[in-house]
Amino acid sequence: MGLVPHESGKTTIAKALVGELVSRGYRVGVAKPVAGHNIWYQRLSVKNSYEHRILVGEDAVELKRVSGSEDPLEVINPLDIAVAPQDPEPYLKNLRSYHETLSSILLSAVMLRVSICEGKNIYTHHYIVEKRVERSPKSIKDLALSIAERIYPKPTPIDPEALENLVLAGYATAELCYRYLSEKHQALILESFNDAASPVTDPGAVDLVLAVSPGKLFIYNGSVYRKALNVVLGIEGSIHRKWWPSTSEVLRLISPISSMNIPFIEDIVGFASFTETLADNIESLIKNRSFPNNP
């Protein structure tokens, strides 16, 4: 889980941990139920979408590669949202609104993929927000249409007003794929998105939760974390709440059982040592169940 909305280091830590566990002989599955990427800034996501012929970002592809998983990308990442900068011209008299649009996934999304897992069958749907694409700067419009042309199935045009309900439906169906993966693998590394407290409605039985921020990592008892998540959802009214709580809303209720300093990734020796120590700590905590139930 990320302690900050962007660039917390979740994927970096997840990839390092997956690689270390694989090297120790574990059969590791990976899950990134919900992902978002910017087609203008994250150029590799465009390349991935071309290559795999589905809308997909960098994180899911990298996690699959590092783990050696044979699971389809659609199962690893069943909900993917592509955003892009909008044309600033209509906002020149009110740039604050333009900035708010850029910072909102719902307001800047131009394409969406929802994949549904039913047993071993996968059903994928793509959607394109045509009004936004048409109103984008020409280079961004051309890029979006180029992706739409290469992915399969071809995207269904939707109005911006329909996007929110489709995303919410995607959250719900993402859990089906997650359940399939959690029952299949000896160890499953689940990565959330942004600073969301959980990428699925109920993560089920979780051993440990890692909360990541630049330079620091905190380890939480998974059972305690899940209870705190349910408390937050219950207070807010889980039936009526549209979006999941942030990590900060959950972590204020509980305490970590351990913490670690994260070295700079370019410090090859230091980061490798950190990853080994992290895997050692996780193995020890899970094996000995030495973490408290009520911190």
Q: What is the phi/psi pair of residue 110, to 5°? A: -115, -20
Separation CA 49–CA 1 (nearest Å): 25
What digits encode the pLDDT tens for the residues 134-161?
A: 999 999 999 999 999 999 999 999 999 9
In a 10 Å sphere around its CB, with 0-12 CB exposed, 13-18 middle and 19+ buried, how is residue 136 labelled? buried
| pTM (predicted TM-score) | 0.91
Place of tokens 């973490």: 291
For the chain, the structural domain boundaries read: 1-27+186-295, 33-180
A 10 A CB-CB count for 94 gives 10
Q: How far from 220 is each of 2, 198, 287, CA to CA, in Å?
A: 13, 14, 15
Model pLDDT for residues 196-246, shown as the tens digit of each residue = 998 887 888 899 999 999 999 999 999 999 999 989 888 654 444 456 789
Cβ–Cβ < 8 Å for 8, 217: no
Low-confidence spans in the chain with pLDDT less than 50: 237-241, 293-295
Q: Which residues pair with 217 in a beta bridge?
A: 212, 260
